[in-house]
Amino acid sequence: MNLTTQRRPICELSDDLISQIAAGEVVERPASVVRELVDNAVDAGARQITVRLQAGGVRLIAVEDDGFGIPRGELPVALRRHATSKIASLADLESVGTMGFRGEALAAICSISDMRVASRVLDSGHAWQLDGRTGELSAAARTTGTTVEVRELFYATPARRKFLKTDATELAHCIEAVRRQAMVRPDVGFAVWHDGKLVEQWHACTGLALQDQRLRHVLGSQFFEQSVAVDHTSAAIRDDGTPLIRVWGRAGLPDAARARADQQFAYVNGRFVRDKVIGHAARSAYQDVLHGHRQPVYALYVDIAPARVDVNVHPTKIEVRFRDSREVHSAVRHAVESALALPRSALQSSAGLPPAAAIIEHLGAFGALNRPVAQLTYAQAAPVFVANTNRGVSDVEAMWPRPQPQLQPPSSQPEVADALQTWRLGRAIAQLQGIYILAENAQGLVVVDMHAAHERVVYERLKAQMDTARIQSQPLLIPATFAASPLEVATAESACETLALLGLDITPFSSKTLAVRAVPTSLAHGDAVQLARSVLAELALHEASTVVQRAQNEILSTMACHGAVRANRSLTVDEMNALLRQMEATERSDQCNHGRPTWRQVSIKELDALFMRGR
Ligand SMILES: Nc1ncnc2c1ncn2[C@@H]1O[C@H](COP(=O)(O)OP(=O)(O)O)[C@@H](O)[C@H]1O
Ligand SMILES: [Mg+2]
């Protein structure tokens, strides 16, 4: 008989076994212990928390704090399962403000390790130490606060111990656990020691802008300089008059995005979480400005009425459930989107930029390509059979900003100096290779990719029109007809309402010919047939979905690409200046629709360095 299928009698699990199983949910690796103990220290009002580790935390994890301590009589209770000082009723759970509340961590950790807790409360003569294995209480020496020592983690469950990674990996996870708490508690100092060496330290911040100081320390000044402040409060108000949701923190600029999603930190009411709603909302805020599969970086803090979020859905509380995930999604998305939409100040942008050498490399790469990538994608897609646009004017003139006399930089010297101060992107000096505009501002040299920049300006204008109603349309005097594929004809017929929203009127002329009868006013002088074909191709792609915002933006982006000035068109200085002024006035104008930068600053300092001046 097969032993494994032999039935055993039903019996109750021993308490010991139950607690070990429960421990498995909370304690996966040393970092889980570090997290629970640091959470407890924070809940005890600690100002300084010191974590000491040996062998990646497997041999020893000791967390020492200067919090309010545990009185002698309560020490044994603290190690019992479901024993907590943090909530007393279900109602408390709905407004829990502490990191802990399940009363499980100490019991769980105790059941799988050799644990000792030493603690001293304020008005006690000395500290008391409890041995978790023997239950023995003895007098100990220490100042007010608590030290929890955890030795030989998983000693009783070698199978689990085998799953641990190298000491270095476990150490990295332990540090990450402390970092996550450090990012939300700038008022608390943290130190991490490993095998007798100090490996990480964040001093308690004082003075103004604590959070900024801490983020700078934890994530580095590069993160800080390449990010913008986020702060948005939802319009809806709670009963007590405070806003329903506040989203704040910092969002990395598109340039700072990374290949991996390893710098995305989200907090809900001070608790680090992995949350799909927040992640998706943040991601969609970058949709318009981020290139391909790049991952944005951010540290976002969501403050929400406790009753609107359930933190008790996961043993480690890393997941939460929102009562209304849509309100959170829209608050986060809006917060990040509006922070990114503000054009960067020249000061801020030059601070986080790569050195001149990198910029010159960048110029080289684009120069070799000789035209922006965006153009390649659509131009190939649409061979023109009957180019019947009846127009002598190129597409450039259509959207090209007419130079406005009052915006022209004056030529006399003192006023030029003024102009450099006033205009973020400065005054145009010259055009390079038919691709770049060179301008001068107070910081030095500005290099603008004119197609990319103009494309964004046109795109934002189309989006703005789309938001207010529909895109303004202009009938063509003579319809532009072209030989169309059956798919194009079918798409034009089925999507005629969407086309109307987009300012386009494309109707069958015969079974194999389509006629473009109206185009968006702002693209009126462009190539109507090219535009029609591109939009139809996009629509065919998105046909299945009802035209959601995303598809809509992609279509507008395609249209903008058509409307934008092409490479190799020479511009007058006035035209260049007009574009610079439009960029300054346009949201998100620092990136083109495909997430590439539209302009770069080369500072005088970088130019000096190139020529080794001032050394
Ligand atoms: N570092 C500490 N300082 C003061 N009290 C502590 C500390 N760690 C644990 N405690 C006490 O022990 C109790 C049990 O801790 P724990 O098992 O982590 O459960 P929880 O944090 O969910 O309450 C806590 O409610 C708290 O009263
Ligand atoms: Mg706890």
Of all ligands present, the nearest one to the C-alpha of 109 is 1
Q: What pLDDT sits at residue 21?
A: 66
Would you state the torsion angle of the CA atoms of residues 45, 47, 52, 53, taken in this order, to the nearest 10 degrees? 60
Q: Which residues line ligand 1 (CB under 6 A)?
A: 36, 40-41, 44, 65, 67, 69-70, 78, 83-86, 100-107, 146
Rounded distance from Cα 221 to ligand 2 centre (Å): 32
Residue nearest to atom 21 of ligand 1 (CA): 100
Beta strands in 112-254 (DSSP E): 114-120, 127-131, 137-140, 145-151, 189-194, 197-202, 227-233, 245-252
C-alpha–C-alpha distance, residues 134 and 74, integer Å: 16
C-alpha–C-alpha distance, residues 380 and 252, integer Å: 34
Residue 104 alpha carbon, nearest atom of ligand 1: 17
Both tokens of residue 385?
Answer: 């059979």
Q: How does DSSP assign 39-101, residue by residue?
A: HHHHHTT-SEEEEEEEGGGTSEEEEEE-S----GGGHHHHTSTT--SS-SSHHHHHT--SS--
Rounded distance from Cα 171 to ligand 1 centre (Å): 24
Rounded distance from Cα 106 to ligand 2 centre (Å): 7
Rounded distance from Cα 29 to ligand 1 centre (Å): 20
Reported as half-sphere exposure (CB side, CA atoms, 13 A), residue 356 has a value of 14
Q: How does DSSP assign 174-202, residue by residue?
A: HHHHHHHHHTT-TTSEEEEEETTEEEEEE
Report whether 285 contacts 298 (CB < 8 A): no
Q: What pLDDT sits at residue 410?
A: 42
**Strands across the sheet containing 599-603:** 427-432, 436-441, 444-449, 599-603
Where in the chain are the domains?
Answer: 15-202, 220-342
Rounded distance from Cα 40 to ligand 1 centre (Å): 5
Rounded distance from Cα 40 to ligand 2 centre (Å): 5
Q: How does DSSP assign 340-408, residue by residue?
A: HHSPPPHHHHHHTPPPHHHHHHHHHHHHHH-S-HHHHHHHHH---SS------S-HHHHHPPPPPGGGS
Rounded distance from Cα 139 to ligand 1 centre (Å): 20
Residue nearest to atom 7 of ligand 1 (CA): 40
Q: What pLDDT sits at residue 100?
A: 84
**What's the fold here for domain 220-342?**
Ribosomal Protein S5; domain 2 (3.30.230)
By most ligand atoms within 8 Å of CB, the mutation choice from 106, 112, 119, 143 for ligand 1 is 106
Of all ligands present, the nearest one to the C-alpha of 105 is 1
Q: What pLDDT sits at residue 157?
A: 75
Same fold, 15-202 and 220-342: no
Reported as half-sphere exposure (CB side, CA atoms, 13 A), residue 281 has a value of 23
Of all ligands present, the nearest one to the C-alpha of 70 is 1
Q: What pLDDT sits at residue 255?
A: 84
Report whether 431 contacts 448 (CB < 8 A): no
| Environment class of 534 (CB within 10 Å of its CB; exposed 0-12, middle 13-18, buried 19+) | buried
C-alpha–C-alpha distance, residues 491 and 504, integer Å: 13
Q: What pLDDT sits at residue 392?
A: 32
Of all ligands present, the nearest one to the C-alpha of 108 is 1
Q: Which parts of the chain sit beneath pLDDT 50?
A: 1-2, 345-399, 402-412, 544-545, 548
Residue partners of 159: CB distance under 8 A and separation at least 6: none
pTM of the entire structure? 0.66
Residue nearest to atom 20 of ligand 1 (CA): 103
Rounded distance from Cα 150 to ligand 1 centre (Å): 15
The domain 15-202 is placed in CATH, from the list 3.40.50.1000, 3.30.565.10, 2.70.98.20, 3.30.160.620, at: 3.30.565.10
Q: What angle do CA 571, 577, 578 make, to 5 degrees?
A: 90
Both tokens of residue 74?
Answer: 């309560």
Q: What pLDDT sits at residue 394?
A: 34
Beta bridge partners of 230: 249
Report whether 320 contacts 271 (CB < 8 A): yes
Residue nearest to atom 24 of ligand 1 (CA): 84
Q: What pLDDT sits at residue 369?
A: 26
Q: Which residue in this structure is represented by tokens 């990719």?
A: 449
For the packed helices 373-381 and 528-542, what is the interaxial angle rounded to 10 degrees? 90
Q: What is the DSSP letter of 597?
A: B
Report whether 174 contacts 161 (CB < 8 A): no
Which residues have C-beta under 5 Å from ligand 2, the single-atom ion? 40, 100, 105
Q: How far is CA 274 from CA 171, 238, 302, 548, 601, in A?
A: 21, 25, 12, 27, 36
